[in-house]
Amino acid sequence: NAGVTQTPKFQVLKTGQSMTLQCAQDMNHNSMYWYRQDPGMGLRLIYYSASEGTTDKGEVPNGYNVSRLNKREFSLRLESAAPSQTSVYFCASSYEIVGTDTQYFGPGTRLTVL
Amino acid sequence: KQEVTQIPAALSVPEGENLVLNCSFTDSAIYNLQWFRQDPGKGLTSLLLIQSSQREQTSGRLNASLDKSSGRSTLYIAASQPGDSATYLCAVLDSGTASKLTFGTGTRLQVTL
Distance from CA of A18 to the nearest CA of B (A): 24
> What whole-number percentage of chain A has pLDDT above 90?
83
| B53: closest chain A residue by CA | A100
Closest CA to A112 of A5, A6, A8, A4: A8
Q: Per residue in B25-46, pLDDT tens? A: 999 989 899 999 999 988 999 9
Q: What is the pLDDT of residue B94?
A: 85
Has residue A43 got a pLDDT over 60?
yes
Find the length of chain B. 113
Residue B91 with chain A: CB contacts under 8 Å: 43
For chain A, how many residues are written?
114
* B49 in contact with chain A, both atoms CB, cutoff 8 A: yes
> Does the pLDDT at position B97 exceed 60?
no
Instruction: Report pLDDT for B98.
Output: 58
Count interface pairs A-B at CB distance under 8 A.
Answer: 50
Instruction: Calculate what percentage of chain B has a pLDDT beyond 90.
Output: 85
Q: Are strands A64-68 and A74-78 parallel, antiparallel or unpaired?
A: antiparallel
Look over chain A and give the mean of its residue pLDDT values, rounded to a whole number. 94
- Which pLDDT does position B111 carry in this prediction? 97
User: Out of A42, A48, A107, whose CB is closest to B105?
Assistant: A42
Average confidence (pLDDT) over A29-47: 93
Interface of A with B (CB under 8 A): 4, 40-45, 48, 56, 58-59, 90, 92, 97-98, 100-108
Sign of CA dihedral A94, A35, A58, B69: positive
User: What 3-state class would DSSP assign to A9?
Assistant: coil
Tell me what pLDDT residue B100 has: 79
Position A87 scores a pLDDT of 97
Nearest residue to B23 via CA among B2, B45, B48, B5? B5
DSSP assignment string, B100-113: -EEE---EEEEEE-
> Is the per-residue pLDDT at A62 higher than 70?
yes
Question: Could you tell me if A90 and A25 are in contact, meaning their C-beta atoms sit under 8 angstroms apart?
Answer: no
**Residue B95 — pLDDT band, cuts 50, 70, 90?**
confident
Measured from the Cβ of residue A29, the count of other Cβ atoms closer than 10 Å reads 20
Give residue A52's pLDDT: 92
